[in-house]
Chains A and B, each alone.
Chain A
Amino acid sequence: MFLINCPYCGERDQSEFVSGGEAHIARPKQPTELNDDQWAEYLFMRKNIKGIQFERWNHAHGCRKWFNVARDTSNDKIEKIYKMGEQPPKL
């Protein structure tokens, strides 16, 4: 059970949050111009790495805000939390 430092509310128990999967996968601006493979890349393909992974989290039972988390999947250590729209940190 993690402790997650919501950038808007502060440190809270993991049970208040939901994970939204891999971060920094922007929805294509012009989906109609993509071929099937390109669209499938956006729609289905997600990384599953051992090490630092960038993820979206939502403070669902709190402020309801989405934000980004850099988490080490090998030990669940949260290295960095940053707001939506910000660039991923170099780790």
Chain B
Amino acid sequence: MSKNLRINNKQFIDETRKLSFIFNGKKLYGYKGDTLASALLSNDIHLVGRSFKYHRPRGIMTSGSEEPNAILQIGNDDALTEPNVRATEIELYDGLICNSQNCWPSVKFDIGGINNFLSPLLPAGFYYKTFMWPASFWEKYEYFIRKSAGLGKSPTKQDPDMYDHRYMHCDILIIGGGVSGLIAAKIASDDNKKVLLLEDKELLGGSLIYDDNDISKIDNQKSSEWLKKLIENIKNDKNIIIKTRTSLAAYHNYNFLLARQNLTDHLSVNDRNNKIRQRLYKIRAKKVIISTGAIERPQVFHNNDRPGIMLASAVKKYIDYYGVRCGLENVIFTNNDSAYETALSLHKSGTKLNAIVDIRNNSSSEIVNKVKSLGIQIYWNHTIVNTKGYKRINKVTIMKLNDKGNDVVGKKIELNCDCLAISGGWTPMVHLFTQSGGKLKFDNKDNIFVPDKTNLNQLSIGSAKGDFELDDVLKNSIKDTKKFLQIENSNFDKIDVKCSKEKEKKNIWLLPSDKPLSKTKPFLDYQNDSTAKDIKLALREGFKSIEHVKRYTTTGMGTDQGKLANMHALGIVADTTNTNMGDLGTTTFRPPYTPLTFGTIVGRNVGQFFDIFRKTPMHDWHVDNNAKFENVGQWKRAWYYPKDGESMHDAVQRESKAARESSGILDASTLGKIDIQGTDANEFLNRVYTNAWSKLQIGKCRYGLMLNEDGMVYDDGVTTKLGENHYLMTTTTGGAANVMSKLEDYLQTEWPELDVFLTSVTDHYATASVCGPNAKKIINKIFKDLDLSDESFPHMSFKEVKLGNINCRVMRISFTGELSYEINVEASYGKYIWEKCIEAGKEFNITPYGTETMHLLRAEKGFIIVGQDTDGTMTPVDLQMDWIISKKKYDFIGKRSLYRSDTIREDRKQLVGLLTDDPNEILEEGAQIVKDENKKPVNMLGHVTSSYFSPTLKKSIALAVLKEGKKLKGQKLLVPMIDKTIKVTVSDTVFLDKENERING
């Protein structure tokens, strides 16, 4: 710790706990209680990065979340490294490793610094103008821009840290633990309210807690002493839950808020093991009090961005809180009284203050008089016209302002300094208020936007509301909180506050220089390198709306959301266009207020918890038998069962051959199942399906097709009549929940007169489907007493039988075209019945098959899969399924749409079969079909929806949707692929067993 920069401060810094850290490869030291920024400053390091566009050297500027420059890469571990961390926000821990981001090859010698000399060539909109044309070059430009600009590196490995989410409910949420938030918390608690108090720093108290001047007094005590007692009181208050290191990320409607708590980021890496790193609170508050304070504005003048130029309030905090001098030769530049507190802190700590430059003509407030009495040189009505020092400021040049304040006069005066503390007044932190939908109003007196109208049950107090002087802050906070909570009296009613009162105000958004504006660099947005010149250029080029100016110049678009820059940008636009700032409106602040890690957002929903998944009762059997799984909706379905290293193709060929030649078994438990009961159940089915249901007898099954009201196919499945007023509907696996919701919607809202009750029973039953020529023999072995003759148990019928105590519903229905039985049992017996079938089928080589083989088998028969062969634009007529549309029924869902002008077009895409001229050539699903591939633009006629190699037919088969497909049977068409063109012939959709003989075994 060189140059005597550390001042003894035992209050907030623990000098008994020395911590080592590494910055850009160099080992340095700080103390427990430091932020990374204060530790760097105590090592006389200001230069921490390079600016985004001009690569100018930049230093630590602030002491909080508004920091535009000191954003560093923390850590060097591939999984744990984190970019864009503000040195001003991260607490120092032992072993911290950090690096500057935006510089290459090093922060001290930066190749991009040449941009600084080229800056006349890099005006606002430069990237837009230069790199957007031709569009095809964008990828190349982007590479170079990213390489030379680079805002940090993302971790490349999975985040090993744990994150957490928690819900919180409270009567009063208070955001910000400064003096006004603390007073509000106490008033609310005294009224027996449940209070949640959030503070983003590690300690409560805001800026008043380290206030060390003798001018402000509360109840005749030093204000910081008074505040410490209040904090002790609040810490012991059972009504108040305090969360420190917790920053509010988002304020949504209905007082729903998200806050992020840092739990381990301040610990040394070894102490973090097995601890939750960050927690996201999802908060519902009956009432919200915003006491987020204010941030200081810089001033805008030529070369106002050099390392060593800092906000005056930050210089004060580094001295009074961290015990760190930011420089040994200080100059203050201000337009208001608050910087005089910094002057007092510098003086009290024995730090040299060379001069104060104040653009006002004079001030005679108590605090200014005190500074005057110390003999400190004050240059009234002066401004800085230039600064010097490349990697650290060493001089400022000042000149006198003219009467209007728009030019400088007289002689130049040079002042030495290694730290320039600047203050341009204060801006209330209204970000959360506006995020929540609140409207702002402009206060001409202080040149600030303050909260105005809100629809929510919320209140802004303290400097977040625009009160800057201690007596206003306290008295208004007390008064407003009482009113907000409808309380008559509080323990603070007789509070006595003494403080200095500011009497003179003056504000110049863009300070004049002795050089023309075109020759100067007055920075607004330090992170994005936009200057006052850029704003003026944007206005000259015709941009009027502040939102457009902001995007064109990138002002306020950085990771700090322009917390420092926005007011000056608005002010300069207003001045240039002669508009009142209040009429310009502000830009919108969007969540998150400060950046959130992805880990916090995702919480515990990572890895296997990323999404829920559903397993059938037979799942373990599939796993034991080497099944590969596919995701169908949330279900894990057995896809195929490779044997001895078979490929998927080989396994599917074997499985489908077995199903056709002897027997196969499929786990069909995932199909959606809806139990339908009620005296109007039959009428209900008539209304929701396209075909007629009136004549279905008990014990019989029927296939149904369901449309949307627009006439497009929505779902399909078999429904069984279990009893007079009792049906079991099956739906597609993926469509189950949607079908249930849709049917429930119609019942409740369109047809409330129907006596029908729907119950989702998908999870209640397990289904084993046994198919193939030997299926009957296998079922017979299991259910010995069941009459399986075609007369007693024909295709599309159902029997209820018992296997021991197990109730089994056996349906003879087929999705493969083979003789097939589906056994439905209560889910808990699913694996038992499955194993029974496997055992009984052993002698017939019963072969478990997965969804892929099922798809192949049904495609051979031309059965559609809703969602694969249809895409929400196919009517039953398009599918050549006219037979399923009842002509007799007066109405059903989607009927009217089947003869809209669009749905009766003959040139719609229609479902057809495709055969490749080379029977071994398998088409790719999704491949386009054309007639002529030479005439450009090529006319796309349709695409392949399903495609397989059929081992039974020994050739490739495909289903496709094709324009006017019905008319094109026998036509030769082309399927162009990247390396060849495949010749195909349009065919019927049924490839196998057109006579449906296999259905009877």
Within 8 A of B (CB), among A24-62: 26-27, 30-32, 34, 36, 39-40, 43, 56, 58, 60
Alpha-carbon distance A1/B251, docked complex (angstroms): 10
B520 near A: Cβ within 8 Å?
no
A85 near B: Cβ within 8 Å?
yes
B12 near A: Cβ within 8 Å?
no
When distances are taken between beta carbons in the complex, the residues of chain A under 8 Å from B890 are 32
Q: Do B744 and A31 touch across chains, with their CB atoms under 8 A apart?
A: no
Show 13 A/B contacts (Cβ-Cβ < 8 Å), sorted by A.
Answer: A3-B254, A26-B750, A27-B750, A31-B891, A36-B900, A39-B896, A39-B897, A43-B897, A58-B745, A65-B748, A66-B744, A66-B748, A84-B752
Alpha-carbon distance A76/B253, docked complex (angstroms): 8
Alpha-carbon distance A32/B284, docked complex (angstroms): 50
Give the shortest distance, in Å, between A11 (CB) and chain B (any CB).
Answer: 10
Q: Do A64 and B895 touch across chains, with their CB atoms under 8 A apart?
A: no
Q: Do B748 and A84 touch across chains, with their CB atoms under 8 A apart?
A: yes
When distances are taken between beta carbons in the complex, the residues of chain A under 8 Å from B748 are 65-66, 84
Q: Do A64 and B897 touch across chains, with their CB atoms under 8 A apart?
A: no
What residue in chain A is nearest B737 (Cβ atoms)? A60
Q: Do A2 and B254 touch across chains, with their CB atoms under 8 A apart?
A: yes
Interface string of A64-91 (1 = CB under 8 A from B): 1110000000011100000011000000
Q: Do B741 and A75 touch across chains, with their CB atoms under 8 A apart?
A: no
What residue in chain A is nearest B167 (Cβ atoms)? A13
Beyond A66-B745, A76-B253, 11 additional contacts (C-beta under 8 Å) are A1-B256, A2-B254, A3-B256, A32-B891, A32-B896, A36-B901, A40-B900, A43-B897, A66-B748, A75-B455, A77-B455
Interface string of B26-54 (1 = CB under 8 A from A): 00000000000000000000000000000
B799 near A: Cβ within 8 Å?
no
Q: Do B749 and A56 touch across chains, with their CB atoms under 8 A apart?
A: yes
Give the shortest distance, in Å, between B840 (CB) and chain A (any CB).
Answer: 41
Interface size on B, residues (CB 8 A): 23
A20 near B: Cβ within 8 Å?
yes
Q: Do B710 and A64 touch across chains, with their CB atoms under 8 A apart?
A: no
Looking at the complex, which one of A18, A32, A43, A66 makes contact with B749 (CB distance below 8 Å)? A66
When distances are taken between beta carbons in the complex, the residues of chain A under 8 Å from B744 are 64, 66
Q: Do A20 and B745 touch across chains, with their CB atoms under 8 A apart?
A: yes
Give the shortest distance, in Å, between B435 (CB) and chain A (any CB).
Answer: 13
Looking at the complex, which one of B437, B741, B752, B900 makes contact with A39 (CB distance below 8 Å)? B900
Interface string of B449-488 (1 = CB under 8 A from A): 0000001000000000000000000000000000000000
When distances are taken between beta carbons in the complex, the residues of chain A under 8 Å from B752 are 84-85
Alpha-carbon distance A26/B15, docked complex (angstroms): 75
Interface string of B871-890 (1 = CB under 8 A from A): 00000000000000000001
* B residues neighboring A (CB under 8 Å): 252-254, 256, 284, 437, 455, 709-710, 741, 744-745, 748-750, 752, 890-891, 895-897, 900-901
Alpha-carbon distance A32/B895, docked complex (angstroms): 8
What residue in chain B is nearest A40 (Cβ atoms)? B900
Alpha-carbon distance A64/B760, docked complex (angstroms): 12
Alpha-carbon distance A77/B744, docked complex (angstroms): 27
Known: A43-B709, A75-B437, A84-B752. A34 touches B741 (CB 8 A): no
Q: Do A31 and B896 touch across chains, with their CB atoms under 8 A apart?
A: yes
Q: Do A1 and B254 touch across chains, with their CB atoms under 8 A apart?
A: yes
Alpha-carbon distance A1/B709, docked complex (angstroms): 31
When distances are taken between beta carbons in the complex, the residues of chain B under 8 Å from A1 are 252-254, 256
With most chain A CB atoms within 10 A of its CB, the pick from B710, B741, B749 is B749
When distances are taken between beta carbons in the complex, the residues of chain B under 8 Å from A31 are 891, 895-896
| Smallest CB-CB A-B distances: 10 pairs | A31-B896, A1-B256, A66-B748, A27-B750, A75-B455, A3-B254, A76-B253, A39-B896, A1-B252, A2-B254
Alpha-carbon distance A18/B745, docked complex (angstroms): 12
What residue in chain B is nearest A3 (Cβ atoms)? B254
Looking at the complex, which one of B709, B749, B896 makes contact with A84 (CB distance below 8 Å)? B749
Q: Do A34 and B256 touch across chains, with their CB atoms under 8 A apart?
A: no
Give the shortest distance, in Å, between B717 (CB) and chain A (any CB).
Answer: 21
Alpha-carbon distance A43/B709, docked complex (angstroms): 7
Alpha-carbon distance A30/B895, docked complex (angstroms): 11
Give the shortest distance, in Å, between A81 (CB) and chain B (any CB).
Answer: 14
When distances are taken between beta carbons in the complex, the residues of chain B under 8 Å from A39 are 896-897, 900
Q: Do B897 and A2 touch across chains, with their CB atoms under 8 A apart?
A: no
Alpha-carbon distance A75/B828, docked complex (angstroms): 50
Give the shortest distance, in Å, between A55 (CB) and chain B (any CB).
Answer: 12
Give the shortest distance, in Å, between B308 (CB) and chain A (any CB).
Answer: 45
Alpha-carbon distance A27/B742, docked complex (angstroms): 14
Alpha-carbon distance A76/B256, docked complex (angstroms): 13
Alpha-carbon distance A39/B897, docked complex (angstroms): 8
Alpha-carbon distance A29/B901, docked complex (angstroms): 21
Alpha-carbon distance A67/B891, docked complex (angstroms): 26
What residue in chain A is nearest B744 (Cβ atoms)? A64
What residue in chain A is nearest B257 (Cβ atoms)? A1
Give the shortest distance, in Å, between A60 (CB) and chain B (any CB).
Answer: 7
Known: A26-B750, A43-B710, A84-B748. A58 touches B741 (CB 8 A): yes
Alpha-carbon distance A77/B455, docked complex (angstroms): 8
When distances are taken between beta carbons in the complex, the residues of chain B under 8 Å from A56 are 749
Give the shortest distance, in Å, between B361 (CB) and chain A (any CB).
Answer: 46
Alpha-carbon distance A27/B710, docked complex (angstroms): 12
When distances are taken between beta carbons in the complex, the residues of chain A under 8 Å from B254 are 1-3, 76
When distances are taken between beta carbons in the complex, the residues of chain B under 8 Å from A43 are 709-710, 897
Looking at the complex, which one of B252, B455, B896 makes contact with A34 (CB distance below 8 Å)? B896
Alpha-carbon distance A36/B905, docked complex (angstroms): 14
Alpha-carbon distance A28/B710, docked complex (angstroms): 14
With most chain A CB atoms within 10 A of its CB, the pick from B256, B741, B891, B896 is B896
Alpha-carbon distance A77/B710, docked complex (angstroms): 32
When distances are taken between beta carbons in the complex, the residues of chain A under 8 Å from B897 are 39, 43
Alpha-carbon distance A27/B749, docked complex (angstroms): 9
When distances are taken between beta carbons in the complex, the residues of chain A under 8 Å from B710 are 43
Alpha-carbon distance A27/B709, docked complex (angstroms): 10
When distances are taken between beta carbons in the complex, the residues of chain A under 8 Å from B437 are 75
When distances are taken between beta carbons in the complex, the residues of chain B under 8 Å from A58 are 741, 745
What residue in chain A is nearest B896 (Cβ atoms)? A31
Alpha-carbon distance A6/B898, docked complex (angstroms): 37
When distances are taken between beta carbons in the complex, the residues of chain B under 8 Å from A32 are 890-891, 895-896
When distances are taken between beta carbons in the complex, the residues of chain B under 8 Å from A75 are 253, 437, 455
Give the shortest distance, in Å, between B256 (CB) and chain A (any CB).
Answer: 4
When distances are taken between beta carbons in the complex, the residues of chain A under 8 Å from B745 are 20, 58, 66
Alpha-carbon distance A2/B752, docked complex (angstroms): 28
Give the shortest distance, in Å, between B157 (CB) and chain A (any CB).
Answer: 32
What residue in chain B is nearest A29 (Cβ atoms)? B891
What residue in chain A is nearest B902 (Cβ atoms)? A36
What residue in chain A is nearest B740 (Cβ atoms)? A64
When distances are taken between beta carbons in the complex, the residues of chain A under 8 Å from B896 are 31-32, 34, 39
What residue in chain A is nearest B253 (Cβ atoms)? A76
What residue in chain A is nearest B710 (Cβ atoms)? A43
Give the shortest distance, in Å, between A12 (CB) and chain B (any CB).
Answer: 11
When distances are taken between beta carbons in the complex, the residues of chain B under 8 Å from A65 are 748
Alpha-carbon distance A13/B169, docked complex (angstroms): 12
Give the shortest distance, in Å, between B398 (CB) and chain A (any CB).
Answer: 50
Alpha-carbon distance A70/B581, docked complex (angstroms): 37
Alpha-carbon distance A34/B896, docked complex (angstroms): 8
Looking at the complex, which one of B253, B709, B741, B749 makes contact with A2 (CB distance below 8 Å)? B253
When distances are taken between beta carbons in the complex, the residues of chain B under 8 Å from A2 are 253-254
Alpha-carbon distance A43/B811, docked complex (angstroms): 38
When distances are taken between beta carbons in the complex, the residues of chain B under 8 Å from A77 are 455
When distances are taken between beta carbons in the complex, the residues of chain B under 8 Å from A66 are 744-745, 748-749
Alpha-carbon distance A9/B895, docked complex (angstroms): 36
When distances are taken between beta carbons in the complex, the residues of chain A under 8 Å from B709 are 27, 43
Alpha-carbon distance A3/B253, docked complex (angstroms): 9
When distances are taken between beta carbons in the complex, the residues of chain B under 8 Å from A36 are 900-901
What residue in chain A is nearest B252 (Cβ atoms)? A1
Alpha-carbon distance A58/B896, docked complex (angstroms): 26
When distances are taken between beta carbons in the complex, the residues of chain B under 8 Å from A20 are 745
Alpha-carbon distance A69/B241, docked complex (angstroms): 35
Alpha-carbon distance A16/B508, docked complex (angstroms): 52
Alpha-carbon distance A26/B745, docked complex (angstroms): 12
